Structure 1
């Protein structure tokens, strides 16, 4: 398991060793200064996507960045340690997976309130994949130019190298899971600010 304090110290040392200010690395990595600062202080454990962006900003691969930090092959992420993010428009995501060195995989549970459109997300790099499974309610999932309406219990796979969108157009809440294998971090998204 990667200790957040050790990770933060390691990132701080790498950044200062390259003569980079916090704001410069944040800009190069495409993350906020406050997020990067919290990670360096060991107060926040970054997701795989955020950590990949930081590695890119430092000119390193993710596996090289984390090579000396892995202390255990089994990584447990307790419910209390999961990242819970409330997004504009009332939707909420929980990142369920721990960060694993060299593995660009995330499993996210998202809830969309009635009538919520989470927005359109740009394509990942070729070779990326997403699996979506609806837990409850109805999800309208756009993949490229086609929209799929998924009910509770339905699932869908798509190559994630196309634009995609998530919306709940019903009067009932919707909950679903996204399992994503990400080949590299995507560029800044269009609207809103985060992947559901």
Structure 2
């Protein structure tokens, strides 16, 4: 019982820290954030002090106003800065070890991926469709990468950027005589506003 009370206190502290950090990052006063979320300022003040037990409705309103998920509001706050040393970057070997995918995001954020792809000469790799509604941006850093998506083939030379629907079946192929390297950035598309 004591352990669950301690966990609840931690979540309240996480919520308070996250709201304050997100509010300040958005340059909003308590009054402005409360108005934007459609909740009383006193409710917001109470949440920022780590007190009370906010309703799910108020958490949803606050998360929407700050542009984050409820999970992000309640999670342990992330450090503002983090350094991932080169030897700590996770690498996934694909295509029989001929393709190395360096996972460059230390934080897991739903729908967002940043990878550095190293393709050995003559190698290819099938891409995995990402979450629905995402867009992928492939920037070739060195060499030339062929990308097939939606029945079309693209040659992406060094410095070129190809944008395509990330939720479609796609693949990559090294078209260069030596190794090629590319940066893949997958982002959720913004919802259209009425």
- TM-score scaled by structure 2? 0.54
1:162 alignment counterpart: 168
Question: Do residues 145 (structure 1) and 128 (structure 2) align?
Answer: no
How large is the RMSD of aligned CA atoms in angstroms? Answer: 2.7
Is there any run of 5+ residues in structure 2 with no aligned partner, and where?
Answer: 1-6, 8-68, 190-194
Pair member with larger Rg? 2
Q: Which residue of 1 aligns with 2:100?
A: 92
1: CA distance, partners of 2:127 / 2:93: 17
Cα deviations by residue, 1:70-97 (Å, 9 ceiling, x for unpaired) = 2423333232321022223311111112
Report the count of equivalent residues: 122
Within 5 Å, which residues of 2 pair with 1:12-31? none
Q: Aligned to 2:114, which of 78, 83, 107?
A: 107
TM-score, with length taken from structure 1? 0.54
| Structure with more relative contact order (C-alpha pairs < 8 Å, separation 6 or more) | 1
Q: In structure 2, how many angstroms separate the alpha carbons of the residues matched to 1:66 and 1:75?
A: 19
The 3-state SS of whatever aligns with 1:80 is: helix
Q: Mind listing any 5+ residue stretches in structure 1 that lack a counterpart?
A: 1-9, 11-61, 184-196
The residue matched to 2:95 in structure 1 has which SS?
coil
Paired position in structure 1 for 2:76: 69
Q: 1:63/1:103 Cα in 2 relative to 1: closer, same or farther (>3 Å)?
A: farther
